[in-house]
Amino acid sequence: MSRPMRERFWERFTLEELTPQEWEALCDGCGKCCLVKMEHPESGDVATLNVACRLLDIDSCRCGDYAHRFERVPECTQLSLANLDEFHWLPHSCAYRRLSEGRKLASWHPLRSGDDRRMHARGMSVRHFAVSEREVDEADYEAHIIDILPLRD
């Protein structure tokens, strides 16, 4: 049985000190990390598409099979403390990124606001613009690019 999360743990403890349950709770459920990314083979730039993983429930912005996501989507990556720096494409709004950069959680974050309605209302999730990869032919991916992030030095 898991122990209860500590009160306001995101303000009181470093990322290294979080329990696995607290680490998971940091996810705001925006769905942005579930958007398809394409890396340019020569420049290393990362393009983000408005195309979401086939397992993402776009309305709830949650994985439809979180427990088995790695088996069902081999390219799915797990964010951890050990690999956080590899995910330079995480949005500036991401709780993991914010805390690793010494910033606080956004006021709309579900841990602060009590639910995810404020996040969705502020347009911080993919709910209003993402389409499932089941609906988009891979040959048309370039037409769905919404952001390009240059390779970090």
pLDDT at 2 over 70: no
> Across the chain, what does the average pLDDT equal?
93
Tens of pLDDT, residue by residue over 82-141, are 998 888 888 999 999 999 999 999 999 999 999 999 999 999 999 999 999 999 999 999
Q: Show the tokens assigned to 77.
A: 């990556």
Q: What is the pTM of this model?
A: 0.89
Tens of pLDDT, residue by residue over 16-29, are 999 999 999 999 99
pLDDT of residue 1: 59
Could you state, in order of their start, the residue ranges of all structural domains in the chain? Answer: 9-149
Strand partners, 132: 52
Contacts for 21 with CB less than 8 Å, ≥ 6 apart: 2, 3, 5
Q: State the DSSP string of 101-149.
A: TTPPPPTTSHHHHSSSHHHHHTT-SSTTT-EEGGGS-GGGGGGGEEEEE
Place of tokens 């990390």: 33
pLDDT of residue 63: 96
